[in-house]
Structure 1
Amino acid sequence: MLLSAAAVHAATGSAPAAAATTTPQDLPDDGLHYSLGFGAFVAPKYSGSSDNHVVPAPLFGVRYDRYFIGTVPDANVPFGVGAYLYRDNTVRVGVAVSADLVKPRKSSDDARLTGMPDIERTARATLFASYNLDWVSVVGAATQDIGGKDQGATATLDLLGKYRPTEQLTLTAGPGVTWGSSQNNQTFYGVTAEDSAHSGLAEYTPGSGLAAIRFSVGAMYQLDKRWTLGARIGATHLPGDVGDSPIVEKKNQMTYGVFTNYSF
């Protein structure tokens, strides 16, 4: 399988790097491979929102040898272009360049954001690595805004346990954390003096630090050699300076999703 429903929030731009993750998938043999799928997710309108919306998520992937275009479960990249620098049955290391599909946040998302600027889409460079055994995966990634939209850097680390009650069904569960740079946290959770004057929200300047603590549970069912069905539930807590932001209405947030995928 080339791709699955990775990084729901990242895919929609609603909460960069604060996403429910998926277990890295087995890579097919070298050569040209394709994957197509579709998912639908219920997610917060933006990171910290008390309101949810339904997000359609088309899934697509192409891989040739070590190069890929599309979703990268190893890196929680929803749609990117990149390459594996190293890979074997246990360890994978790679790089990718990706872009937001929609704006991460709009002032029209909620009345409390009136007067706040939209957060624009940007491009990111990602370095990722994963360590995979039959019963556990450790996935880490570091990203940097390269689109000049003041979204700084993030780093994520996730630990996912795996259990196969049957040959077709794989269950996963585990915790994860996201760290955000001061620039990233300021853009997504800060309120400048100018923003405060326009919005009425209190001026606020978060520093660098933890931007999310999460736990996810998922299931994937292999219908046959090509078709896969999946579901995922993710719970995210916005801690510390991030959670105390006047932009945040709800520190504890949930994301639900289902998806199907066809590989050929």
Structure 2
Amino acid sequence: MGGSSQRRGVVRCLGAALLLLAARASAFDLPQMPNMIGVGVGSTTQCSGCSDTMIGAVPGVEYHGQGWLLEWYGPYAQIDLGEPGSHFRWGPALSVKLGRSDLDDPVLKRLPEISTTLEGGAFVGYEYYHSGDIPYRMRLYANVLTNAGSVYDGVRGGLFASVWLPTSERLLLGGGAGYAWASQSFMNTYYGVDAGGAQASGLPMFTAHGGNQQVYGWLGGIYKLDQHWAVGAAVIDQYLIGSAGDSPIITERGKASQLTWGFGVGYMW
């Protein structure tokens, strides 16, 4: 595995493992939100649409400031500026969009490389805590991101939902689903094949259009070891749709189903 490919795995692959940290429940009293730091290790695909996989590790952090909350999991971070006690959440968001380089696939590695870029944007959301015989926490979120033309023009965004449910004093289970869309520039950058790429790789030329990019679902679990330590695991399947799924990068060399799985450990205080 090349150096750039390994770094890409370190940054990208374990958002799923760090879903265990996103539960934010030190004693599974769901409304409680402790500070937290952790790390996840697992496997993901080398690029969006690739079939080859890699192993990597990423950190996760959650920190409460005066009137704000930082959530950072893998390549994505957001600062929640919603008022304490309110169900509505909002704030700025940052994401590292990984590029495409040093792939194992002998055909895809002939396509033009794509640089890693930093994206900025915002999110809005709604959180609901239910305390009763069966307590749970539900989150509904939407975000929009752009990199202001450094690699692509336009924007990409998504809608996603999650639910966490304690099944005992030590075990917390969760699941969620989401949908993502993107502008034509984004889609064509990551899934299109221009004349130069077609000549170099042998893949047919393909122009990707804006719109649907993917749907996904995930399942996770957290086991509380003691007051401060917890371990967890998660698996997420991202399924490419629209022009992303129709690209010859996927239909001839890769696969539409992009599976990521991992394990993590977190410390809470």
What TM-score does the superposition give when structure 2 sets the normalisation length? 0.78
Query: Matched residues in 2 for 1:28 and 1:164: separation?
Result: 13
Matched residue, 2:168: 166
Q: Which residue type is aligned with residue 238 of structure 2?
A: T
Given the alignment, which residue of 73, 82, 86 partners 2:82? 86
Shift of 1:64: 2.2
Distance 1:245 1:42 in 2: 24
Amino acid of the residue matched to residue 88 of structure 1?
P
Question: Which structure has the larger Rg over C-alpha atoms?
Answer: 2
Gaps of 5+ in 1: 1-8
Match of 2:230 among 228, 231, 246: 228
Structure 2 residues not aligned, in runs of 5+ = 1-7, 26-30, 130-135
**Following superposition of structure 1 onto structure 2, how do residues 36-115 of structure 1 map, counting pairs within 5 Å?**
36-67=37-68, 71=72, 78-80=75-77, 83-89=79-85, 90-100=87-97, 103-115=98-110
Distance in 2 between the 1:133 and 1:45 partners? 36
Q: Indicate conservation of the 8 Å contact 2:235/2:260, yes or no.
A: yes
Q: Are the equivalent residues in 1 in contact too, given 2:231–2:266 (CA < 8 A)?
A: yes
Residues 1:10 and 1:42: Cα distance change in structure 2 (over 3 Å): closer
3-state DSSP of counterpart to 1:114: helix
Measured at CA, do residues 108 and 186 of structure 1 come closer, stay the same or move farther in structure 2, by a change above 3 Å? same
Task: Name 1:6's counterpart in structure 2.
Answer: none
Q: Cα RMSD between the aligned structures?
A: 3.0
Match of 2:256 among 238, 243, 251: 251
Distance in 2 (alpha carbons) for counterparts of 1:128 and 1:11: 25
Asked whether the equivalents of residues 79 and 98 of structure 1 are also in contact (C-alpha less than 8 Å), the reply is yes
Contact 1:112/1:247 (8 A) holds in 2: no
Query: Which residue number in structure 1 is paired with residue 192 of structure 2?
Result: 190
Distance 1:147 1:122 in 2: 10
Tell me the SS of whatever aligns to 1:128: strand
Change (3 A) 1:110 1:216: same
Alpha-carbon deviation of 1:93?
Answer: 0.7
Structure 1 residues 113-262: aligned runs within 5 Å: 113-134=108-129, 135=136, 136-146=138-148, 148-150=150-152, 152-248=154-250, 249-262=254-267
Q: TM-score, normalised by structure 1?
A: 0.80
Counterparts of 1:229 and 1:108, CA distance in 2: 32
CA contact (8 A) 1:37 1:262 kept: yes
Tell me the amino acid that sits aligned with residue 115 of structure 1.
R
- Secondary structure at the counterpart of residue 172 of structure 2: strand
Match of 1:5 in 2: none
Taking only the aligned residue pairs, the percentage that are identical comes to: 26
Aligned residues: 244
Deviation at 1:88, TM superposition (A): 3.3
Instruction: Deviation per CA, 1:212-246: give whole Å up to 9, x if none.
Output: 11111111223233222121111121112111101
Amino acid across the alignment from 1:124: E
